[in-house]
Chain A
Amino acid sequence: MHLRITPIVLLLLLALTSCEDNDMMSVIDTPTTYAFEREGESTVSFSGQTTRIAMATELVNGMLDFDATTESLLEMYANQTASGEDANPYADSDLNASTKSVKSKVAASNDFFSANTAEAAVIKAEIASWIEAQVTEVYPNRNQFADVGVAGQIADGSEARYVNAKGLEYNQAVAKSLIGALMVDQICNNYLSPLVLDAGENISNNDNNIVEEGTVYTTMEHKWDEAYGYLFGASTDVSDPLATLGEDSFLNKYLSRVDEDGDFTGIAEDIFNAFKLGRAAIVAGDYTVRDEQATILKEKLATVIASRTVYYLKQGKLALANNDFGGGFHNLSEGFGFLYSLRFLRQPGSDLPYFTRNDVDGFINQMSAGNGFWDITAETLDTISEQIAAKFDFTLAQAGE
């Protein structure tokens, strides 16, 4: 009898030990939804992030509206006129009424850019230059075929894509660069940073339930929510956003895409859980658990951007190998924007980016050299992809297919 059950007892012990280990890890339960209340009122607020996602959406869509002008598009970028006056460039009147803007939050994080304003200005201007070039280079050629050194349209399946003389879709460059320069930079290098979360009296106010004037949330709670809003601010149910993941054209959408890739299944849930647990930790006043979750978020979001970069470079390479220039250019245009976004990824537990401005400039220059996508080689795309994957724990094959 005794002898019979021994192996089972061993197995049970093993199972029990594993469970105990998990319980030890977190004394705070991860909530099932992102819903937090104080005295019966929701303390979750991130309307500014929802607004900026909507503004960026109108801007990116506007770049393919051939009735738009440089002026109208740049106003959508800055939400003000060239001379700094109030502008009303959006179709949505709520956006016109807002004083927020996309441009003011591009490359504007505390940790990466508060003492690096020269580079921030270069990034802001670079994105503006792509918006402008769409109107000056691509619009006039919209009714002719693109060719080597000639802007115009090109077929991608049954779609028409509009490219510059090097095969780049400026609208894709802007959209995918904003994922890094706006969303990831604000989340990882600003709102999840202890320098922002703990600024001023934030810790003592949070410890003592002292809320911001006219609100029911503490400043620290609000900062964390603002990080959350750059990812989930356009979701139908912001407290339970995974059910309908993929609802914007930016970070949310590409988190959905990476999560659908079998090699990264579960990353969306990991990110959602870290946001919930970190927020619950703020409510509980446990800043160690909070910062552990912030570290997880920085690492996972960097994985989303880096793996999508490799994915699009690989898909572009495959399409070009089949002489599918339109499909290839479309993938490389998305890849170009994701490459640009690498600059904003931060190594976990460090103040350092994964890639410096020089690294990213090097990649972008290789993509743009000569006739750009028209004559880019598979070797160039492979080399860039290898350099990216080398900094992460996914393989080229895992990210690329």
Chain B
Amino acid sequence: MQHLSKISAVTLLFVMFLVTSCGDEEPMDVLTDNFDRSAMLEFWADDIMIPSITHYVEELGGLANSQEHFANNPSIESLNLLRSQWLTAYNAWQEVSLFDIGKAEEVGLRNYTNIYPTNVDLIESNIATQAYNLMLPSNYAAQGFPAMDYLLFGLRSDDAELVQQLSSQQYAQYLSDIIQNLVMLSEEVLDDWTGGYREIFVANNGSSATSSVDKLVNDFLFYYERFFRAGKVGIPAGIFSGSENGLAVEAPYASIYSKMLFTTALDAIERFYDGIGYGANTTNGPSLYDYIFHIVESNNTAPIHDTIKDQWSVVREQLDVVSTSFKNQVETDNIQMLKLYDELQKVVVIMKVDMMQALNIKIDYVDADGD
């Protein structure tokens, strides 16, 4: 009897082990969800996205005016006004970039606006030949804010010389063309929102892969991972290549602004997540935070809605240690940039796995092959 019972104990342990292993393989139950998606979509459209894009279009209008003023009255003073308006518009873009949905996605707004590092050789060859089609994919890296960063800050180290060169016919024409391209594309996106897309977006309130919530959350995550984490920090810090590259930061020629642009983007990310209205409109509305909290509360699961927010606080603590110029930071003490990347990456893990599982949203993009 004793013999048998010992074997039984071992067998039982073994069986328990098997059962436990199998249990891990089974998919998680879909958590209870009766959150009001429609109200959240309305808030996103009316209080965050449309105001952000409206503001961006206004600032691009201001940029076009500053450029015209500079071209007609070239001076260091008008150059500095132009630079200042470039920075304002670039910051406004940081509040739009994360919403790559609808017409923005269709026209590829981000590709024409903020592909960097910019291709200086291509810019110069376009200017020299005067033959370029800015709509072609091969010209993505020769336009947008990064090309303006080069033209406004990197063309010459001496401001007086820069004024002279940039106000010459061919350079002025190119600068005007790339600004007008942004004006045209952003107006197309805004017109689409106000011309019927807002209603389509809000009405698509289901929970399928093509629903507005599923798509926008995917776009948000993709933006966070690819353009925010990797683009602004990871690639310059050499995470993927193994060697840091100061020229790969956002706005390397006006690099004292790279941290500001990053911070504006982080603010926009957090406001979207928290459901805070755009600009002076600080109304609170239904948000991803509320949505996750709703699921966490009704299913009594881990409070990841707060874990994500807490981790962004850690990101900001590390951001305090980093220079206003990411280029300078990468070139003098890259370890601090790597630490910033690590803190950003921790949020990716929570969002990509825990958040998406809680919200029952399937990731609709794959990590690119890279060739």
Interface residues, chain A, with chain B CB atoms under 8 Å away:
3-4, 6-7, 142-145, 153-161, 249, 253, 257, 315, 318, 322, 326, 331, 334
B6, A6: Cβ atoms under 8 Å? yes
B368, A157: Cβ atoms under 8 Å? yes
Interface residues, chain B, with chain A CB atoms under 8 Å away:
2-3, 6-7, 10, 108, 110-111, 115, 133, 135-138, 140-141, 364, 366, 368-369, 371
Which residues of the other chain, A, contact B10 by a CB distance below 8 angstroms?
A: 7
Report which of A7, A145, A249 forms a contact with B136, defined as CB distance below 8 A: A145
B3, A159: Cβ atoms under 8 Å? no
Q: Write the nearest CB–CB distance from A343 to chain B, whole angstroms.
A: 23
Q: Which of A142, A159, A322 counts the most B-chain CB atoms under 10 A from its CB?
A: A159
> Known: A157-B368, A158-B115. Contact between A143 and B2, CB under 8 A?
no
B3, A3: Cβ atoms under 8 Å? yes
A155, B133: Cβ atoms under 8 Å? no
> Known: A153-B137, A155-B108, A158-B115. Contact between A7 and B6, CB under 8 A?
yes
Which residues of the other chain, B, contact A155 by a CB distance below 8 angstroms?
A: 108, 111, 137, 140
- Extra contacts besides A143-B133, A155-B111, A155-B140 (6): CB < 8 Å: A6-B6, A7-B6, A7-B10, A143-B136, A158-B137, A318-B366
B136, A6: Cβ atoms under 8 Å? no
A160, B140: Cβ atoms under 8 Å? yes
Complex CA distance for A83 and B140, rounded to whole angstroms = 41
Which residues of the other chain, A, contact B110 by a CB distance below 8 angstroms?
A: 158
B7, A315: Cβ atoms under 8 Å? no
Report which of A3, A159, A315, A318 forms a contact with B137, defined as CB distance below 8 A: A159
A143, B6: Cβ atoms under 8 Å? no
Chain B residue with Cβ nearest A175: B371
Q: Write the nearest CB–CB distance from A264 to chain B, whole angstroms.
A: 16
Which residues of the other chain, B, contact A318 by a CB distance below 8 angstroms?
A: 366
Chain A residue with Cβ nearest B108: A155
B371, A249: Cβ atoms under 8 Å? yes
A4, B6: Cβ atoms under 8 Å? yes
> Known: A249-B371, A257-B369. Contact between A160 and B138, CB under 8 A?
yes
Q: Write the nearest CB–CB distance from A155 to chain B, whole angstroms.
A: 4
Q: Which of B111, B115, B369 counts the most A-chain CB atoms under 10 A from its CB?
A: B369
Report which of A7, A143, A160, A331 forms a contact with B7, defined as CB distance below 8 A: A7
Which residues of the other chain, B, contact A257 by a CB distance below 8 angstroms?
A: 369
B111, A158: Cβ atoms under 8 Å? yes
Q: Write the nearest CB–CB distance from A53 to chain B, whole angstroms.
A: 16
B2, A3: Cβ atoms under 8 Å? yes
21 contacts between A and B (CB under 8 A): A4-B6, A6-B6, A143-B133, A143-B136, A143-B138, A144-B136, A153-B136, A153-B137, A154-B137, A155-B140, A158-B110, A158-B137, A158-B140, A158-B141, A159-B137, A160-B136, A160-B137, A161-B137, A249-B371, A253-B371, A331-B369
Complex CA distance for A7 and B110, rounded to whole angstroms = 65
Q: Write the nearest CB–CB distance from A401 to chain B, whole angstroms.
A: 8
Chain A residue with Cβ nearest B2: A3
Complex CA distance for A145 and B137, rounded to whole angstroms = 9
Chain A residue with Cβ nearest B139: A160
Which residues of the other chain, B, contact A334 by a CB distance below 8 angstroms?
A: 369
Q: Write the nearest CB–CB distance from B360 to chain A, whole angstroms.
A: 20
Q: Write the nearest CB–CB distance from A297 to chain B, whole angstroms.
A: 25
Which residues of the other chain, B, contact A6 by a CB distance below 8 angstroms?
A: 3, 6-7
Q: Write the nearest CB–CB distance from A12 to chain B, whole angstroms.
A: 13
Complex CA distance for A160 and B141, rounded to whole angstroms = 10
Chain A residue with Cβ nearest B9: A7
Chain B residue with Cβ nearest A319: B366
Complex CA distance for A326 and B108, rounded to whole angstroms = 12
Q: Write the nearest CB–CB distance from B111 to chain A, whole angstroms.
A: 5
Complex CA distance for A326 and B110, rounded to whole angstroms = 16
Complex CA distance for A153 and B137, rounded to whole angstroms = 7
Q: Write the nearest CB–CB distance from A152 to chain B, whole angstroms.
A: 9
Report which of A3, A158, A331 forms a contact with B6, defined as CB distance below 8 A: A3
Which residues of the other chain, A, contact B138 by a CB distance below 8 angstroms?
A: 142-143, 153, 160
Which residues of the other chain, B, contact A331 by a CB distance below 8 angstroms?
A: 369
Which residues of the other chain, B, contact A158 by a CB distance below 8 angstroms?
A: 110-111, 115, 137, 140-141
Q: Write the nearest CB–CB distance from B210 to chain A, whole angstroms.
A: 10
Which residues of the other chain, A, contact B133 by a CB distance below 8 angstroms?
A: 143-144
Q: Write the nearest CB–CB distance from B256 to chain A, whole angstroms.
A: 26
Q: Write the nearest CB–CB distance from A9 to chain B, whole angstroms.
A: 12
Which residues of the other chain, A, contact B136 by a CB distance below 8 angstroms?
A: 143-145, 153, 160
Complex CA distance for A4 and B133, rounded to whole angstroms = 83
Which residues of the other chain, B, contact A153 by a CB distance below 8 angstroms?
A: 136-138
Which residues of the other chain, A, contact B368 by a CB distance below 8 angstroms?
A: 157
Which residues of the other chain, A, contact B111 by a CB distance below 8 angstroms?
A: 155, 157-158
Which residues of the other chain, A, contact B135 by a CB distance below 8 angstroms?
A: 145
Q: Write the nearest CB–CB distance from A7 to chain B, whole angstroms.
A: 5
Complex CA distance for A326 and B140, rounded to whole angstroms = 15
Complex CA distance for A6 and B364, rounded to whole angstroms = 54
Which residues of the other chain, B, contact A253 by a CB distance below 8 angstroms?
A: 371
Which residues of the other chain, A, contact B141 by a CB distance below 8 angstroms?
A: 158
Q: Write the nearest CB–CB distance from A34 to chain B, whole angstroms.
A: 24
Q: Write the nearest CB–CB distance from A271 to chain B, whole angstroms.
A: 21
Complex CA distance for A191 and B140, rounded to whole angstroms = 46
Chain B residue with Cβ nearest A2: B3
Complex CA distance for A331 and B369, rounded to whole angstroms = 9
Chain A residue with Cβ nearest B115: A158
Q: Write the nearest CB–CB distance from A100 to chain B, whole angstroms.
A: 25
Chain B residue with Cβ nearest A312: B369
Which residues of the other chain, B, contact A326 by a CB distance below 8 angstroms?
A: 137
Complex CA distance for A157 and B137, rounded to whole angstroms = 9
Q: Write the nearest CB–CB distance from A162 to chain B, whole angstroms.
A: 9
Which residues of the other chain, A, contact B137 by a CB distance below 8 angstroms?
A: 153-156, 158-161, 326
Q: Write the nearest CB–CB distance from A4 to chain B, whole angstroms.
A: 6
Which residues of the other chain, B, contact A7 by a CB distance below 8 angstroms?
A: 6-7, 10
Minimum-distance CB pairs A-B, first 9:
A160-B137, A155-B137, A160-B138, A7-B10, A3-B3, A158-B115, A158-B111, A158-B140, A153-B137
